């Protein structure tokens, strides 16, 4: 079972540093990782529509209604990191739904229920593909390299490894699933 400590130790491997046994260790690097791991993970999840971190929801209308600008509000699930652009039917190729994301809600004129796809916080590290784990480890190494080693070349190495790992993670993620489906809009469905 993959843990946050496993991902952190891969980052330390990149920097040729001794591993930690837990983020609760009293070593300065363990404290740095404990402070920075979650935000680094969430930032990487937010930057792309990773297949393993997307969830679909059908959200009921919330109250109260927006004071102005929109006629309806929908409360986002608590694990949401980012809303994927809304479309009618919730499909990526569907017609866009005008909306704003504000204060943990989606504001729109679209009727309930609202089908949404969102990027969620995923703390089950076994669900992370190996390429994503490598990108996260390299990003952690990039973030602490100069602080930990005092050497610019380690920061440069970690940055290069991060870019390479991120590219491989994007490619692997993009190759999953089938070809894009035809737009699911009323005109196509009536045809």
Instruction: Quick: pLDDT tens for 151-168.
Output: 899 999 999 999 999 999
pLDDT for the residue numbered 189:
46
Q: Tell me the average pLDDT across 164-183.
A: 79
pLDDT for the residue numbered 121:
96
pLDDT for the residue numbered 127:
94
Express each pLDDT in 16-56 by its tens digit.
999 999 999 999 999 999 999 999 999 999 999 999 999 99
Dihedral angle, C-alpha 170, 174, 176, 177, nearest 10 °: 150
The helix (run of H) or strand (run of E) holding residue 12 is helix 4-14
pLDDT for the residue numbered 88:
87
pLDDT for the residue numbered 13:
96
Dihedral angle, C-alpha 77, 78, 81, 82, nearest 10 °: 30
Express each pLDDT in 103-159 by its tens digit.
999 999 999 999 999 999 999 999 999 999 999 999 999 999 999 988 899 999 999
In three-state secondary structure terms, 143 is helix
Lowest mean pLDDT among 68-72, 127-131, 186-190: 186-190
C-alpha radius of gyration, the chain, whole number = 20
| Largest distance between two CA atoms of the chain | 65
Phi-psi region of 165 (alpha: psi -120 to 50; beta: other; left: phi over 0): alpha
Residue 84: pLDDT over 70 = yes
């Amino acid at each position: 079972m993959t843990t946050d400590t496993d991902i952190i130790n891969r980052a330390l491997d990149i920097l040729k540093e001794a591993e930690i046994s837990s983020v609760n260790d009293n070593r300065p690097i363990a404290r740095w990782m404990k402070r920075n791991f979650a935000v680094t993970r969430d930032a990487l999840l937010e930057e792309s529509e990773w297949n393993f971190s997307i969830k679909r929801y059908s959200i009921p209308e919330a109250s109260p209604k927006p004071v102005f600008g929109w006629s309806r509000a929908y409360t986002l699930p608590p694990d949401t990191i980012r809303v994927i652009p809304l479309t009618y039917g919730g499909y990526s190729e569907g017609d866009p739904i005008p909306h704003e994301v504000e204060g943990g809600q989606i504001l729109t004129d679209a009727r309930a229920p609202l089908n949404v796809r969102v990027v969620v916080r995923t703390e089950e590290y076994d669900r992370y593909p190996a390429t994503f784990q490598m990108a996260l480890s390299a990003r952690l190494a990039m973030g602490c390299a100069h602080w930990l080693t005092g050497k610019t070349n380690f920061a440069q190495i970690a940055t290069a490894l991060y870019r390479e790992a991120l590219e491989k993670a994007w490619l692997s993620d993009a190759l999953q699933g089938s070809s894009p489906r035809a737009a699911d809009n009323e005109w196509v469905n009536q045809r």
